[in-house]
Structure 1
């Protein structure tokens, strides 16, 4: 069945590397991006807006393609079935592994799942009072069997057209704190009226979805989600 063992091991090694680079935990961005940043390698050609050529994505894609090429050429038969199984593992299993880990072994902030696409924020300025009224909803789920206390810090999107604060204004009133009961799944709502008299520019109103935030637990662990 195995025609070239050295090609098989090379393929498995490259496949494992690509799998690790694309692993979607513990932060919003894949695990490989954190490795690139720690090594001083920019994941994007334009780091200010995280746009342009995605060096990290190209590297992981190249590793995956090479791994499939080596694996396919290392076998005498069943190449199609093995390659199909490899691609299925690469696509399907990461999220399943994360979910299983959060439900069984994870503790603190690592056990918390954030449904980012269902988050929402609306804000409206009162020009006379120089205040901004902000409403926020974030869906969180504690998948562990223990209570988790987290603080929530709201982060502006780097893809903003102008450097004008919106959701991060919530942080002016202090970091939000929430307690998640074991296996609790809920949407938490925040409402704040924030003083904007010290701002030179601000938006009169608007809304946003897919909000970036940082969760921290009492042990000092944090995740960017």
Structure 2
């Protein structure tokens, strides 16, 4: 609402270069928030707020061991953007209940949270491997899930990524 009013007032107050400036304002509105987040993480952030997570490159693979157990291997790409070492815990959560694999990912919290440590400016593919008891679930033949949503915790601070 406020953006619409601001763009309208900008457009009506200008005579020359009206279309160009309105277009520039819309582009800045779309790009500036992400740029500001990156600037904050790279410059001022500390602890878990300096951790960057590449959601698109994350993946969990599910391999059945027998009818009651499944082996899960999750690869989570994490980067510490600060100068200092950061130690934190990782938990899994469901952003959406789409497909069988996404229902299995939160079950990994039964063995968690998982401790992770990243040195200053370290980029690391964190591998978390565990066996899950799926005897109370239906039969499962295996598969994978990408775009795994996680929570990182440090003391009483928590971020969902």
Output the TM-score relative to the length of structure 2: 0.89
CA distance in 2, matches of 1:117, 1:63: 32
Correspondence for 1:208: 145
CA offset at residue 187 of structure 1?
1.0
RMSD between aligned alpha carbons?
A: 2.1
For structure 2, the residue ranges without an aligned partner over 5 or more in a row are none
1:96 aligns with 2:35: yes
2:90–2:112 CA contact under 8 A, matched in 1: no
1:165–1:202 CA contact under 8 A, matched in 2: no
For structure 1, the residue ranges without an aligned partner over 5 or more in a row are 1-61
Greater RCO, CA 8 A, separation 6+? 2
1:124–1:205 CA contact under 8 A, matched in 2: yes
Which whole-Å deviations, capped at 9, do the CAs of 1:124-154 have from their partners, x for residues lacking one? Answer: 22334x1110010011111111111111111
Correspondence for 1:223: 159
2:90 to 152, 170, 173: 152
CA distance in 1, matches of 2:62, 2:52: 25
Q: Higher strand fraction: Structure 1 or Structure 2?
A: 2
1:70 to 2, 5, 9: 9
1:1-225, aligned counterparts within 5 Å?
62-128=1-67, 130-161=68-99, 165-197=103-135, 199-201=136-138, 203-218=140-155, 220-225=156-161
- In structure 2, the CA distance between the partners of 1:114 and 1:78, relative to structure 1 (3 Å rule), is same
CA distance in 1, matches of 2:137, 2:17: 66
CA distance in 1, matches of 2:36, 2:104: 35
CA offset at residue 202 of structure 1?
5.0
1:164–1:201 CA contact under 8 A, matched in 2: no
Output the TM-score relative to the length of structure 1: 0.65
Which segment is superposed worse, 161-170 or 180-189? 161-170
Runs of 4+ in 1 over 4 A off after TM superposition: 161-164
